Homo-oligomer: A and B are copies of this chain.
Amino acid sequence: MPGKSYVMIMAGGGGTRLWPASRKRRPKQFLPLLPNGQTLLGATVERLAALVPPERMMVVTAASQVPDVERTAPSVPKANIVIEPQARNTAACIGLGAIEVLRRDPEGILAVVPSDQYAWKLEPYQAAVRHALEVAAQGVVVTVGIPPTGPETGFGYLEPGDEKLGARIVKRFVEKPDRATAERYLASGYLWNSGMFFFSAARILQAIRQHLPALGEILDEIFADPDKASTLYPQAPSTSIDYGVMEKLSPGEVFVVPGDFGWNDVGSWSAIPAITPPDADGNFTLGDSVTIDARGNVLYGDKGRIISVVGLNDLVIVATDEAVLVMPKDRAQDVKDIVRALEKSKRETYL
């Protein structure tokens, strides 16, 4: 009989791609970006709640964000909130989660998923996760690959090979490509790397020991004595699971389950129309708005602040206590330039 399944949601880390709503201390998984004020973390928990009972639903996050997790994912037991003593990227984070599962269940199988993605087709999503967990129970590493909808340069890709174990062998993982390469990948049937991974706790820790031995040692010591986490974990190498482990596994060791379930990584404000329905006036309002001759705008105001627009279409307007951002939807990627300008002019206080 295979081990039981555990869900481990990675909810640490920050980011400014949705600045000024998302900030270093208020990352996007905790923002009310979905209808009825739901957060991406809350929606992720909800999607996966059908697959594992609450006692096997875990969240890894920073100590400072525990209140955000408790507020936006109240069904997760407090004992299942795993605290990263310091952000050390996904390899360390996943390793920490794996030893927490190992303590509870030496046979445990993990579904590791980011907290800040969206999937709007619930049943295909759950089916893909179930399928990936079944394959992972055979002792291999599994990922879900998203059939690309265009030559995106913002995602990593993976090349699927032959079928085996009810999935497909991953021939290789590749980093974010340039446009021409992305088009070639698209034509060759590559899939987007969703950042979702499935494996037994024992299997991933073995892979970490092999490919990131310094991290492996630290994790073994923390497993033996949990009190050492606060001093040892910050010394872990800061490496992504993709670069540190996935890309180093051999084709027979890692498999992909394709998943077509309306996946969205909510990488910029222009993603909002894909994850929230338009209001009666044809705008995508998160909060409160009043508009005249205005359509197709993304309008985000926190804390009951109202956004009013006259005679403008297809803009992004975001308002928080500290900052307001206004730009055309098709320039949503340029938030990074504003962030850079604020850093350059010593106004990091707004970030």
A-side residues, CB < 8 A to B, are 20, 288, 290, 292, 301, 305-312, 315, 317, 319, 321-328, 331, 334-335, 337-338, 341-342, 345, 347, 350
Q: A311-B327, A327-B312 are in contact. Are A338 and B290 (CB under 8 A)?
A: yes
The number of times this chain is found in the oligomer is 2
Q: In the bound complex, do residue A323 and residue B347 qualify as a contact, i.e. CB atoms below 8 Å apart?
A: no
In the complex, which of the residues B310, B324, B325, B345 contacts A338, with contact meaning CB atoms closer than 8 Å?
B310
Which residues in B have their C-beta under 8 angstroms from that of A327? 309-312
Name the distance in Å between A299's Cβ and chain B's nearest Cβ.
9
Minimal Cβ-Cβ distance residue in B for A345 = B290
A337 near B315 (CB under 8 angstroms)?
no
- Given contact pairs A290-B347, A306-B347, A310-B338, a sample of 17 additional A-B residue pairs in the complex whose CB atoms are under 8 Å apart: A20-B308, A290-B345, A292-B337, A292-B338, A301-B324, A305-B321, A306-B322, A306-B323, A306-B324, A306-B342, A309-B326, A310-B325, A310-B334, A310-B335, A312-B315, A317-B326, A321-B321
CB distance from A99 to the nearest CB of B (A): 43
| A323 partner, pick from B305, B325, B328, B341, beta carbons under 8 A | B305
Residues of B within 8 A of A305 (CB): 321-324
Q: Find the residue from A305, A319, A326, A331 having the highest chain B CB count within 10 A.
A: A326
Complex contacts, A306 vs chain B, CB 8 Å: 322-324, 342, 347, 350
B317 lies within 8 A of A324 (CB): yes
How far apart are A344's CB and chain B's nearest CB, in angstroms? 10
Expressed in whole angstroms, the Cα–Cα distance for A310 and B300 within the complex equals 16
A333's closest neighbor in chain B, by CB? B310
Chain B residues lying within 8 Å of A321, measured Cβ to Cβ, are 305, 321
- CB-nearest residue of chain B to A338: B308
Task: Tell me which of B310, B312, B324, B342 contacts A319 (CB under 8 A).
Answer: B324
Contacts of A315 in B (CB 8 A): 312, 326
Task: Decide: A325 and B308 in contact? CB cutoff 8 A.
Answer: yes
CB <8 Å contact, B324 and A290: no
Q: How far is the CA of A328 from the CA of B327 in the complex (A)?
A: 13
Enumerate chain B residues within 8 angstroms of A309, measured Cβ to Cβ: 325-327
Q: Are A312 and B326 in contact (CB under 8 A)?
A: yes
Tell me the smallest distance from the CB of A19 to a CB of chain B, in Å: 8
Asked if B290 and A341 make an inter-chain contact with CB atoms under 8 angstroms apart, the answer reads yes
**A326 surroundings in chain B (CB, below 8 A):** 307-310, 312, 315, 317, 326
- The complex places the Cα of A334 from the Cα of B310 at a distance, in Å, of 7
Q: How far is the CA of A328 from the CA of B309 in the complex (A)?
A: 9
Q: Contacts A290-B338, A290-B341, A338-B292 known; A310 to B323 CB distance under 8 Å? A: no
Q: Tell me whether A312 and B290 are in contact (CB under 8 A).
A: no
A116 to chain B, nearest CB (A): 22
